Structure 1
Amino acid sequence: MRKIIATFLLLFALFQTSNTFAQDLLKSTDLSTLKVDYLSDSDIAKIKTQLQTNNVTIEQAEPMALAKGMSAAEFAKLKERLAMPVTKTELIKKDNKEDDDDDEKAAAFGKKQEKIVNTKVKDTINALIFGSELFDNPTLNFEPNLKLATPVNYVLGPGDELQVSVYGVQEFNASVPVSTEGKVTIQYVGQIPVTGMTIEAATQKIKGAIARVYSTVGSGQSQVAVSLSRIRTIRVTIIGSKQPGNYSISSLATVYNALFLGGGPGKNGSYRNIELLRDNKVYKNIDLYRFLVNGNQSDNVGLKDNDVIRIPAYNQRVTLEGQVKRPGIFEMKMGETFSDLLSFASGFNEFAYTASVNVLQKTSKEFKVKDINAAEYTSYKPLSGDVFRVSKILNRFENRIKIDGAVFRPDTYSFYEGMRISDLIAKADGLKEDAYSNRARIIRLKSDLTTEIVNVDLAKALGGDLEADIALHKEDIVTVYSILDFVEEYKITIDGEIKKPGIYEYHENLTLNDLLVQAGGLTGSASKRVEVARMIKSEEIDDANPNKAQLFNLEITATNNEQLKNFELQPFDVVNIRKMAVYEKPEMVTISGAVNYAGKYVLATKKDKVYDIVQRAGGLTAVANIEGVKIKRPIQAKQIEDLENVNLNLGKKDSIQNKLTKKLKEDLKFATIPVDWKSIVKNPKNNTNVTLFPGDEIEVTAFNEGVKVTGNVLLTSEIPYEKGKGFGYYIGSVGGVDNKGWKKKAYIIYPNGKAAVAQSFLFIRSYPKVTPGSQIIVPEKPEVKKMSTGEFVSIAGVLASLAGIVIALIR
């Protein structure tokens, strides 16, 4: 029976809270019954948390646990369990209890508080009012920090909770709430009234009461610690805010925290005359501008239960627009001046005209405009409704002058009275070597903002002639010409068998050899013949001379890019390097399929034909289909260009030519030329024995006894060839055409690429002959738009009208 009771007591101890278990481990007088094997992962995690909270390591706790009866073996097990990582189950529990974890973190610092949330309403109506953004920012909520030490002047009240601990020779630990009567009840000590007392005074009173019960406290052998573990909630009333009402907030909360919860002042609420009422008296006048402008939080006082925050209507507001750093609507107090208003707006910005400010005022009947000079800023007192406008400075310069052209430092410089042209050139580090000294130009702005040109003789001005060295005006633009501006830009053209044909700059003493080297040298196909064309220059027209250019025929050594005799070129000469009379690189064709030696073959002559290449490839193999020889010829870019240049007169919106061009470019990369091999073998001069072009591919297909049927048929298939069977047999063998098939337009493609279509004569339709390896294709019927009822009725009406006209004419 005793064993059963002991086991029950042990299990009961294991299911206690982490705080109690930690006390058992660190402060209990008897740990002899503790069995680590019965502890769960959650219990181990709680022990670990409590050790960390008390800043005690497991090594520091070992002598304490052994002195209280815990065996060394059990402590070793406990140490091993504490060193193990956190299990996955515990992690899941932590994820599911985030709010509880937050409370535990707060408890670790000694205080807890119910979280108070109020949904914010974005202020769009009063967005321009200075200070309104303070209450729209969720990160600026002025919530009290529960992790800081409790203020010594904190006044206790019902709802607070104290943590009372006695440690030393005698030990005691309890959480005691402050009752509604304002008292705390401590075991063996009794009830102690603490309401209305500061935390410091209550601590002294509780120590005195405990000392009367615990003798070691009076003697100093035990110590008493009192801290605030849970903070009460107080109720305050906010009047005149965007969200007025009663709010339950922390007893540590301040005025700004309450104003944030209430959304700040309402539409017409004051930001500068907010009243904090306590016991029906004005306890504090709050001016939010002190915080907004200077960061001064002297008005952010703590709140008490039943406090009232009253936000009256504003007395006067003014608007500040234009070139200030923080434009908006500002609230002014009596006696404040325009300088104070500027400080609220953080002053003028970089582009503001600061000499005066324009203000739009309201009288009892109409508006009026007033200008405030800079000297009046500290004396002018804004009136309610004033609209101040700060304008920009003028986009002009009071002392600008500019020089460009043939000087070393063309730029904009500062102008001063008495500045002359020589002074400005000296500022620009003087004239460049190519400067044209006979004349310089000044573009001058006249008093009526029109411009005029003033010419200067630079040589005289810089030589000391005061008349030529004229005085400058502000905004003058001086241009110094360069002699290079008057020189024509000469070019030389070279073309033909040269590596870099093109247009090159001409230089004096440029020779043909220089130009050949500059253009990368001759190509391998260049001949020794060079033609130079030179322009004819003359002051008089010579009608007897029909020549437009003078030609020079020269010879060069193509191997070393040098001319036998150096030839000097002139501006605008055109040089042509001629090509050798015979210079053609070997070109190839390809043969593939059922031939003995498939591959690429060089065209040995300009008139190599199909038969020649097939013979060079060893002839056809035994499996070759003699009716399946064809040539695939690549479509050249010039063919597509020629097609694009042809005008088919189909109209701008017709897409036939566009589709044909697109098909040639993207779909059809080869043109197929059928070859009648039987005829070629009998007579090599047959017209299908065509002359081959570079890039052609001769394709010889292997013999295939099947006939492929595709297109709009029920089953695409390949039917074995049967001699004497026609179109109908093979189409019927695949189930016939489908509902979109157009049988009368069916066609056949033979193995050599030749095609044939069905024909009709006097209602008799004949289909082309079917051969082995051919392909029958049934196209799709074109879509025909059926006539609607409305269209039919319209046509019938037109016909009826025509009939009536004809009858009338006959009569």
Structure 2
Amino acid sequence: MHYHFFSRLYLSVLSFTLLFFVSISGFAQNTNPSKPATALPEPAQKVNPSQITNQQATDFYNQAKSTGMSDMDIEKAALQRGYTLDQISAMRKRVAQKPEQEEVADPNRDELDETRDQDELDELEDETHNEKDSTNARKVTRKRINRTFGSSFFAQPSSTFEPNLRIATPRNYILGPEDEIVVDIYGNSVDNFKMKISPEGTVKMLNLAPVYVNGLTIEQANERIVNRLRQAYSTLNRSGSGTYSSITLGNVRSIRVMITGEATRPGTYTVSSLATAFNALSLSGGPNKNGSYRNIEVIRNNNVIRKIDLYRFLVDADLKDNIALQDQDIILIRPFESRIELVGQVKRPGIFEARTGESISSLIRYAGGFTPEAYTQTLTYQRNTGTNYVIGSIDSAQIASFTPKNGDIFNIKKILDIVSNQVEVKGAVTLPGIYALEERCNTVLKLIQMSQGLSPRAFLNRALLERSSGETQTGIVAFDLRKLVNGEIADIELLPGDILTVKSVEDLKEFTFLSISGSVINPGNYFYYKDISIADLIFQAGGYTEGGVPYRIEVSRRIKNDTLDLPTSQNVRIYTIDVADNLILNPDDQKFKLEPSDMVIVRKSPRYEAQKTVTIIGEVKFPGNYTIISNFERISDLFTKTGGVKPEAYLPGVRFYRNRELLAVDIETIMKKPSLPSNLLLLDGDTLMIPRRSETVRIQGGVHNPSVMNYDPKYEYEDYISQAGGYTEQGWKKRVYVSHPNGRTYRTKNFLFFRSYPTIAPGSIVTIPVKAEQPERERTPGERIALFSFIASMVSTLSIAIITLSR
């Protein structure tokens, strides 16, 4: 919701109560806006707030406003007709729910928001006139971001401070006109009646004389009322009488409070007599942009009875300034005297109001204190001298006593991400890292001892100490670490930020490998170690593969230095080494030591070779896989192993595959003459397929009826083409080829006007290529003349030749 819950509901409830009376008691007869609301006739009965709907509440409110009645008139009419504050509270809850759950826009809330926004815009407009000054431009930006501390509290619609009407009567509550007192008599006598305090401050009960209670507390009024009731009940509240009374406060009255000064919405407000100062401030929207949060006066009978400092509540939750209000109290919000802005490393940056004589330490407390990263040694501030801005600073000792001035901007900087007393050791020590520069760690030797000493592989000839000299570059201090450890040279004092670097022996060597390949299980590169042998490297590589032999192992080594025993063109030296079988430890193997970057090649036994097999399938007596016994076996040798072919085998159609590719070989010819070059040597994975005799021929391509037909030994090529319907127009007769079952392909042979077509065997495939269609193009006149000239020339030549031959 856009505004405080209390003010929005209160005005609506007043309209509801009046309209309920009017709807029952003849409000329609009194529609004259000039007639006061108090002249309305007394209703026959009151309307229970729980019996109305949200839509009826809205309609009654609009009807009341249309008669010209003010909010004050509505309030008086509701109170005169006996509506209690409990019923008014129930009305508030009903008003909070608009029909169809739509939220009622509060013009007062909008006015408050617009006022705050306009204040910010005015401030921004005034200050951006001088944005040519970069300092002032930054100030404008900060003011846009950081609002005054406390303003957000009153900007929240939930902070209504609505008084609780369902609490026990406060002990210090002062009775006044329109308050209701409830008297309950119990025991031997029973009675109950409610009394409303008259404008004269008296209450009247039974037929007894009035009792003056105005200005008394409920306890004081209780004593007077009991004394008066004893005129009717003589033993009331006396020991052993059996008749007792209970006097409590019923409905409370409304009071009027004026809020003036630098309030967001100054004016006169009608609130419950239980309302406090914070309730009223919340209704007015709190201080405006010039209002003070720390100098708010509560004035009663022209006397200041309380000065409110809201910071006590906002920071420490201190409610001692939240005093109860009385009728005709005035709340005066003074202009602020001094505001100081805190930016940077405080927990709650913003603009804070300072009281006269208040130090900057108090404002830092209001800001939540410093963040963990705050640099508190020195604080800088910017101050307006009246003509320009100046920069100043204070140290940590002045924070508690330094008094800021209005408009000061304090900047709390962030500490640098640097440790001032650290030293570091890196490299070949047991515990490298950062250490504190202190008495037990202020020299190089002490730092090494603090890091638990040097590692066994530390390089002792030299160490480096990086030291910042205050210049742009870092200096290097080199020293002999061995002499320092042995006490031969003086220890070196450390300075803040020093970095000690101790190298290891491995750090100063090139990272080298050994390479092994050949008949080992895990060939590849391996780390080089001092005194490593060939057997050690083979062991690291997983040992020999099947067929690997421990002799004739070749080692290839780089030539690092010039040597006279090698040709100038030779850049490597080759060693052939034998090692012990089964990698057993042998002193002779340790004599040859490998060097970095050596390449070791382990040979395979010359007699070792994995088994090779070929596959025979089809029409043989024993098809299956067969091992190649020697490297000289050929295709013709396979048929002996299979026990021969079956009678239905078709040898001209045998197919031979190698690496899944068909090799066109004529097995029938090979069987008759094994010495032919086509009788190939067998290789691992070869496959021989012996099919049955096929009785069909396939015709495909440029014929009218591509089909499969039976093989007829009496048919020739033209017969099969005729069976397929003849050539199409695009059939390319000169390019016809025939594929036989064994993979061999034969094409048509052409000589002048003569053609020789291939022989067709059982299972053959005849393919007639199809010519690509050429778009028809009309010949040009020049092409026609050239064609006619060519034909005429040919006819003339032939005629002369015929005449010559006839003679």
TM-score by length of 2: 0.53
State which drifts further: 524-533 or 273-282: 524-533
Residue equivalent to 2:259: 238
8 Å Cα contact 1:278/1:307 also seen in 2: yes
Correspondence list, 1:563-642, <5 A: 566=589, 570-572=594-596, 573-576=598-601
Offset of residue 141 of structure 1: 4.6
Which AA in structure 1 matches 2:149?
A: F
Residue equivalent to 2:703: none
Which AA in structure 2 matches 1:236?
A: V
Q: Deviations over 1:127-158 (max 9, x none)?
A: 43122233345665544455653312223456
Residue equivalent to 2:217: 198
Q: SS in structure 1 opposite 2:435?
A: strand
Distance in 1 of aligned mates of 2:481 and 2:579: 51
- Quick check: 1:341 aligned with 2:363? yes
- Quick check: 1:155 aligned with 2:174? yes
Alignment root-mean-square deviation, CA: 6.4
8 Å Cα contact 2:611/2:627 also seen in 1: no
Q: SS in structure 2 opposite 1:359?
A: strand
Offset of residue 266 of structure 1: 0.9
Offset of residue 320 of structure 1: 2.7
Offset of residue 270 of structure 1: 0.8
Which AA in structure 2 matches 1:290?
A: R
Q: Deviations over 1:621-665 (max 9, x none)?
A: xxxxxxxxxx9x99xxxxxxxxxxxxxxxxxxxxxxxxxxxxxxx
Change in Cα spacing, 1:756 to 1:501, as seen in structure 2 (3 Å) is farther
Which AA in structure 1 matches 2:174?
A: V
Correspondence list, 1:292-311, <5 A: 292-311=314-333
Offset of residue 186 of structure 1: 7.1
Which AA in structure 1 matches 2:599?
A: V
Q: Deviations over 1:544-571 (max 9, x none)?
A: 1654444456678999999998475513
Residue equivalent to 2:379: 357
* 1:312 maps to which of 309, 325, 334: 334
Change in Cα spacing, 1:200 to 1:497, as seen in structure 2 (3 Å) is farther
* 2:245 maps to which of 214, 221, 224: 224
Residue equivalent to 2:391: 369
Q: SS in structure 2 opposite 1:253?
A: coil
Residue equivalent to 1:730: none
Change in Cα spacing, 1:531 to 1:366, as seen in structure 2 (3 Å) is same
Which AA in structure 2 matches 1:297?
A: L
Q: Deviations over 1:207-238 (max 9, x none)?
A: 55666556785564244334445555544343
- Quick check: 1:489 aligned with 2:511? yes
* 1:437 maps to which of 455, 460, 463: 460
Residue equivalent to 1:544: 567
Offset of residue 301 of structure 1: 0.9
Which AA in structure 2 matches 1:457?
A: D
Residue equivalent to 2:277: 255
Offset of residue 306 of structure 1: 3.9
Q: Deviations over 1:146-188 (max 9, x none)?
A: 56533122234566555554444455567x4747757778789
Correspondence list, 1:680-695, <5 A: none
Change in Cα spacing, 1:476 to 1:185, as seen in structure 2 (3 Å) is same
Residue equivalent to 2:130: none
8 Å Cα contact 1:275/1:282 also seen in 2: yes
Which AA in structure 2 matches 1:510?
A: I
Change in Cα spacing, 1:107 to 1:257, as seen in structure 2 (3 Å) is closer
8 Å Cα contact 1:161/1:230 also seen in 2: yes
Residue equivalent to 1:131: 150
Residue equivalent to 2:425: 403
Correspondence list, 1:67-216, <5 A: 114=92, 121=113, 127-137=146-156, 141-145=160-164, 148-157=167-176, 164-171=183-190, 176=194, 178=196, 181=199, 196-205=215-224, 207=226
Distance in 1 of aligned mates of 2:160 and 2:547: 86
Q: SS in structure 2 opposite 1:149?
A: coil
Distance in 2 of aligned mates of 1:440 and 1:304: 85
Offset of residue 608 of structure 1: 14
8 Å Cα contact 1:522/1:558 also seen in 2: no
Distance in 1 of aligned mates of 2:190 and 2:525: 105
Offset of residue 455 of structure 1: 2.6
8 Å Cα contact 2:535/2:583 also seen in 1: no
* 1:458 maps to which of 481, 491, 494: 481
Change in Cα spacing, 1:266 to 1:107, as seen in structure 2 (3 Å) is closer
- Quick check: 1:264 aligned with 2:283? no
Identity of aligned residues (%): 34
Correspondence list, 1:42-53, <5 A: none
Q: SS in structure 2 opposite 1:271?
A: strand
8 Å Cα contact 1:155/1:196 also seen in 2: yes
Which AA in structure 2 matches 1:129?
A: T
8 Å Cα contact 2:382/2:408 also seen in 1: yes
Q: Deviations over 1:231-283 (max 9, x none)?
A: 55544343333344444544333222332343321111111111223345433
Which AA in structure 2 matches 1:570?
A: L
Distance in 2 of aligned mates of 1:187 and 1:585: 130
Distance in 2 of aligned mates of 1:370 and 1:724: 111
Gaps of 5+ in 1: 1-105, 596-600, 617-630, 635-672, 685-690, 699-722, 726-753, 765-811
Change in Cα spacing, 1:256 to 1:501, as seen in structure 2 (3 Å) is farther
Distance in 2 of aligned mates of 1:680 and 1:205: 141
Offset of residue 384 of structure 1: 1.8
Residue equivalent to 2:526: 504
Distance in 1 of aligned mates of 2:683 and 2:208: 121
Q: Deviations over 1:557-611 (max 9, x none)?
A: 999999998475513433445678987799999x9xxx9xxxxx989999999xx
8 Å Cα contact 2:554/2:575 also seen in 1: yes
8 Å Cα contact 1:269/1:314 also seen in 2: yes
Q: SS in structure 1 opposite 2:477?
A: strand
Distance in 1 of aligned mates of 2:534 and 2:440: 58
8 Å Cα contact 1:461/1:469 also seen in 2: yes
8 Å Cα contact 2:612/2:684 also seen in 1: no
Offset of residue 322 of structure 1: 3.1
Distance in 2 of aligned mates of 1:260 and 1:480: 70
Offset of residue 201 of structure 1: 3.5
TM-score by length of 1: 0.53
Offset of residue 437 of structure 1: 3.4
8 Å Cα contact 1:399/1:416 also seen in 2: no
8 Å Cα contact 1:556/1:562 also seen in 2: no
8 Å Cα contact 1:112/1:230 also seen in 2: no
Which AA in structure 2 matches 1:404?
A: K
* 2:298 maps to which of 270, 273, 276: 276
Distance in 2 of aligned mates of 1:325 and 1:352: 10
8 Å Cα contact 2:175/2:214 also seen in 1: yes
8 Å Cα contact 1:164/1:227 also seen in 2: yes
Q: Deviations over 1:41-86 (max 9, x none)?
A: xxxxxxxxxxxxxxxxxxxxxxxxxxxxxxxxxxxxxxxxxxxxxx
- Quick check: 1:480 aligned with 2:502? yes
Change in Cα spacing, 1:229 to 1:569, as seen in structure 2 (3 Å) is farther
Aligned pairs, number: 557
Distance in 2 of aligned mates of 1:570 and 1:314: 90
State which drifts further: 130-139 or 158-167: 158-167
